[in-house]
Structure 1
Amino acid sequence: MKDWLTIALSKGRLLNDSIILLNKVGISHPQLLLNGRRLLFDLPNQKIRLLLVRAADTPTYVEYGAADIGISGKNILLEDEKEIFEPLDLKFGFCRIILAEPIGAELTRKKNSSKLTIATKYPGITEKFFSQKGISVEMIKLGGSIELAPMLGLADQIVDLVSTGATLKAHHLKIVEEIASSTARLIVNRASLKLKYQRVFELIDQIKSVIS
């Protein structure tokens, strides 16, 4: 399968739009949107293999060559920097990485000068953000439901991914600062860029034509 292209798609919030994008360039499989356990889909006529992987793992599959190409959120790429080529912003999946805290927390903080505790799913982004500000913080890594941490006294602030901000409001949190914005990105294995140059750039050009 040396002449095949393997494309890793991130499961979760980017998947539907990723499938729609591939459909626009003629890459589709009838079972992709079925909620089954199948994770691998071959398109022999096009010599293309599609993989469904955890969003956090997509850059790893691409970096190590298990996939030639992937679609990943910029938030994932910022969190765990990989040796990959990132040729395209795909213009969907927009969200923001933000620092947030409970409404009124600044009043309490003036009375308590102890080190801030930050709950987050993104310790890499968080550490870099506070390091650039010269601020030392204690971090607690959580896998989800980050908004609960301040309510339960687990953390003073959170660093999380938001789209509309409705969940923050529901938990009486306010945005203190926007750290970065995130959209879906096309990523490419560096070896595949050389060994499968023609196929890779044909696909890049096709995708460019439908997102421009």
Structure 2
Amino acid sequence: MEKLRIAIQKSGRLQEKTTALLRECGLAFTNGPNRLKADARNFPAELLYLRDDDIPQYVEDGVADIGIVGENVFIEKNKDIKIKEKLDFAKCRLSIAVPKSVEYSGTEYLNGKKIATSYPFIVNQFLEKNNVKAEIHEISGSVEIAPGIGLADAICDIVSTGSTLLGNGLKEVETVILSEAILVAHNDLSTAKQQILDKLIFRIKAVNTAKNNKYLLLNSPNHAIEAITNVLPGMRSPTVTPLKEEGWSSLHSVVNEDDFWDKIDQLKELGAQGILVIPIEKMIL
């Protein structure tokens, strides 16, 4: 039986959340700091533990069938592979930063400047798009120190909270790209492996859809059911069950995480009581 070879980060920013996602998708496997590969015990897949920067090349070459990487790495490596799914974690941005003392006037400031980065391909695309002529210094690790030691006038690096920039006397001035974890695939999978991948993506969608929603239970006076139903349409419409107490019903629905607190305020104003919010483990649409 064919197995889907999945390349994931051996260590680093994505590793923990990637393995957590695969386990939530029902894959049982053993991982450890010294393992290079592992078989899933209950799914036709084999995990390859690789350096993040190497995953796009391994997928393009067909050594791995799919890989989970940061979108920033996918763009920078510029390999002939496909994005199959965005995974909704490890969100960050690749940004230009300059010393806090600089009066930044826009991208024209970068003309003639030196920019230190681990992402020369992406930075070059950004500069060309903005008609800027600058010198790119490719370095790996500790990019933030470059302006302080006179190596560069600006940097382009991954930013999550911005605290590292502030700690090094820098300020963020341009967002070059937004990035998150993505699932990429080889361009010519066999029919059998494509079917396995389709099953995995189905599970990933179910897990991620559940994370973005909450299951809501509440008690409502019957006269307010219609108004509350308009607030909580759910996947189709709320489930309404009469309570023992006359004139009251229990409503069950699903609410998106982004709308959660706004919905709660509206429900209370309409007379809802006994509101319970429950996490959803999986959600199949």
TM-score normalised over the length of structure 1: 0.90
Structure 1 position 50, deviation (Å): 0.4
State yes or no: 1:4 paired with 2:12.
Answer: no
Correspondence for 2:95: 98
Find the counterpart in structure 2 of residue 18 from structure 1.
18
- Which one is further off, 168-177 or 40-49? 40-49
Unaligned ranges ≥5, structure 1:
none
Q: Deviations over 1:147-175 (max 9, x none)?
A: 10000010000000011110000011001
What SS class does the counterpart of residue 178 from structure 2 fall into? strand
Aligned letter for 1:80? Answer: K
The answer to whether structure 1 residue 190 and structure 2 residue 162 are counterparts is: no
Q: Secondary structure at the match of 2:133?
A: coil
CA distance in 2, matches of 1:147, 1:67: 33
2:238 is matched with none
Check 1:202–1:99 CA distance in 2 against 1; reply closer, same or farther (3 A cut). Answer: same
C-alpha distance in structure 1 between counterparts of 2:110 and 2:54, whole Å:
38
* Letter in structure 1 aligned against 2:18: S
Partner of 1:50: 47
Is 1:127 equivalent to 2:143 in the alignment?
no
The answer for the alignment partner of 2:28 in structure 1 is: 28
Q: Report the secondary structure of 1:127's partner residue.
A: helix
Counterpart of 1:95, as a letter, is C
Name the CA shift for 1:29/1:176 in 2 (closer, same or farther; >3 Å).
same
Measure the CA separation in 1 of the matches of 2:196 and 2:36. Answer: 23
Inter-partner Cα distance in structure 1 for 2:73 and 2:14:
12
Paired position in structure 2 for 1:118: 115
Alignment CA distance shift 1:125-1:163 (3 Å): same
Q: Distance in 2 between matches of 1:193 and 1:175?
A: 45
- Matches of 1:194 and 1:99 in 2, distance apart? 43
Q: Deviations over 1:20-51 (max 9, x none)?
A: 10001111323x1x33x221112355332101
Is 2:110–2:133's contact at 8 Å kept on the other side of the alignment? no
Between the aligned partners of 1:174 and 1:85, the Cα distance in structure 2 is 34
* CA distances 1:48-84 after superposition (whole Å, capped 9, x unpaired): 2101100011111111111111101001011122211
Q: Which AA in structure 1 matches 2:8?
A: L
Distance of 1:45 and 1:171 partners within structure 2:
47
Superposed, 1:130-145 pairs within 5 Å as: 130-145=127-142
Alpha-carbon spacing, 1:142–1:100, altered in 2? closer, same or farther (3 Å): same
SS at match of 2:197: helix
- 2:103 alignment partner, SS class: helix
CA contact (8 A) 1:146 1:158 kept: yes
Query: Following the alignment from structure 1 to structure 2, what is the Cα–Cα distance between the partners of residues 64 and 74?
Result: 19
Task: Give the one of 142, 157, 180 matched to 1:160.
Answer: 157
What are the residue-to-residue correspondences of 1:82-93 with 2, within 5 Å?
82-93=79-90
| Contact 1:19-1:28 at 8 Å conserved across structures | no
User: What is the percent sequence identity of the aligned residues?
Assistant: 39
State the number of aligned residues. Answer: 204
Specify which structure has the bigger relative contact order, considering alpha-carbon pairs within 8 angstroms and separated by 6 or more residues.
1
**Which residue matches 2:201?**
204
Q: Does the CA contact (< 8 Å) of 2:38 and 2:46 recur in 1?
A: yes
When normalised by structure 2's length, the TM-score is 0.68
Is 1:9–1:71's contact at 8 Å kept on the other side of the alignment? yes
Moved more, 5-14 or 121-130: 5-14
1:151 maps to which of 142, 148, 152: 148
Q: 1:208 to 1:18 in 2, by over 3 A?
A: same
